[in-house]
A = this chain, B = another copy of it.
Amino acid sequence: MKAAPKFTLLAVTLIAAGICAEAIAQPKPEDVIEYRQAAMTMIGWNFGALAAMVKGKTAWDAKEFSLRAERLHTLAPQALEGFAKGSDKGAQTDAKADIWTHPEDFRSKYDDLVTQTSALSEIAKTGDEAKMKEQFKKTGAACKACHEKYKAD
């Protein structure tokens, strides 16, 4: 069972090297965009459930929080494949072209999301409600920082 974390790390490593995207037989731009939007929908679904707990709209459940934090930790790096070169157009998308004209800045902001969700999943394992809520805010800030610059209103 020790192997699971290895795959999580491997995911980040392979994606960072762009190997995953290349491994797929060059998917069509519209398919990459659909995948990108699907990944963001799944991230939003779990983030929304955490937000509901943090805001007191649903009962606080540390195990539930940890489960969704772990999901965000594994979904964040997966979504990066959805920003492959050439997927700036091909279907309706809120992703701004600046993502592909400023890849280094986009990547630095994206990497922060991966970092914050990873920290969220680790902190969630402690069950410390205050620290979990604090890290949730940092995770939300990482989402916002990238959306403000690279996502159309």
Contacts and interface: CB of A to CB of B under 8 A. Distances in A.
Interface of A: 1-5, 7-8, 10-11, 14, 19-20, 23-25, 31, 34-35, 37-39, 41-42, 45, 48-49, 52-53, 57-59, 61, 63-64, 66-67, 70-71, 74, 78, 81, 121, 125
Question: How many copies of the polypeptide does the oligomer hold?
Answer: 2
A5 B24 CA distance: 27
A24 B48 contact: yes
Contacts of A42: 35, 38-39, 42, 78
B19 A8 contact: no
A91 B9 CA distance: 37
A63 B58 CA distance: 40
Contacts of A41: 34-35, 38
